[in-house]
Amino acid sequence: MTTVGILGGTGPAGQGVGLRLASAGYDVVLGSRDAERAEGVARGLTPRGAGTLRGASNEAAAAGDIVVVATPWDSAVATVSALRASLAGKVVISMVNALVREGRELIPLYPPRGAMAAQLANALVDSRVVGAFHHLPASEMVDLDSTLDADVVIFSDHADAREEVAQMVEAMPGLHAVIAGSMSLASAVEAFTAVCISINIRHKAHSYVKLAGLNN
């Protein structure tokens, strides 16, 4: 069975992805700087399906076959850099968004390489970094009874890794994979998360992106 580790997996975004990965049959390790905390969070989540979910350290999560980065944006590079050897040769999924609150809005920040996925790719030259899971409402993700039916926009400079992540996403309940293209699209995908969350704040909603008009 494929193991997926989630660095910073105890936050709302990481929990939702972990729960739905476990429900898709993966063995998920929710990682945290605080392994005990991660164990407690994992005990509160009940996947439906063949997979498993447990909490552990970020180091243990980094041992997964595939690793998801779900840390806050301002600790993402430091977290993965310390785990570079474990992550070498693997598909590493960045779901990190650099956002900051300004009044009633979240606004996008553009790191020096344009996007957080590009920052991570630069820090992990021996991994294949893929961007995914950016626009998802955490409260719906963590509720397997929700009517979530969201499109996950996927980008990477590694075509094989994009396909691998797309297959993983397709197996997850409530999610549909849409490959957008290369890392050149990273800033656009990541920044749009600020639009989704700002709309949610303004309209008191939990909206997510559907790309209508695709033949699927």
Residue 105 binds to a second copy (criterion: CB under 8 A): yes
Q: Which of residues 124-143 bind a second copy (CB under 8 A)?
A: 137, 140
Residue 195 binds to a second copy (criterion: CB under 8 A): yes
Query: CA-CA distance, 49 to 21, in Å (whole number)?
Result: 10
**Which of 35, 82, 138, 179 contacts a second copy by CB under 8 A?**
179
Residue 161 binds to a second copy (criterion: CB under 8 A): no
Q: How far is the CB of 135 from a second copy (least distance, A)?
A: 9
Q: How far is the CB of 88 from a second copy (least distance, A)?
A: 28
One-character DSSP codes across 118-183? HHHHHH-TTSEEEE---S--HHHHT-TTS---EEEEEEES-HHHHHHHHHHHHHSTTEEEEEEESG
DSSP conformation class of 205: -
**Which of 10, 86, 127, 198 contacts a second copy by CB under 8 A?**
198
**Which of 53, 98, 153, 175 contacts a second copy by CB under 8 A?**
153
Residue 202 binds to a second copy (criterion: CB under 8 A): yes
DSSP conformation class of 13: H
Residue 159 binds to a second copy (criterion: CB under 8 A): no
Stretch that binds a second copy, among 24-32, 36-44, 65-73, 202-210 (CB under 8 A): 202-210
Q: How far is the CB of 106 from a second copy (least distance, A)?
A: 9
Residue 170 binds to a second copy (criterion: CB under 8 A): no
Pick the closer one to a second copy by CB: 90 or 162. 162
- Check the CA dihedral 111-154-134-94 and report its sign: negative
Angle among Cα 7, 43, 136 to the nearest 5 degrees reads: 50
Query: CA-CA distance, 102 to 166, in Å (whole number)?
Result: 33
Between 73-82 and 116-123, two packed helices, what is the crossing angle to 10 degrees? 20
Query: CA-CA distance, 155 to 59, in Å (whole number)?
Result: 26
Angle among Cα 146, 149, 153 to the nearest 5 degrees reads: 130
**Which of 26, 73, 133, 208 contacts a second copy by CB under 8 A?**
208
Residues in contact with a second copy by CB under 8 A are: 102, 104-105, 107-108, 110, 137, 140, 149-150, 153, 178-182, 184-185, 187-189, 191-196, 198-199, 202-215
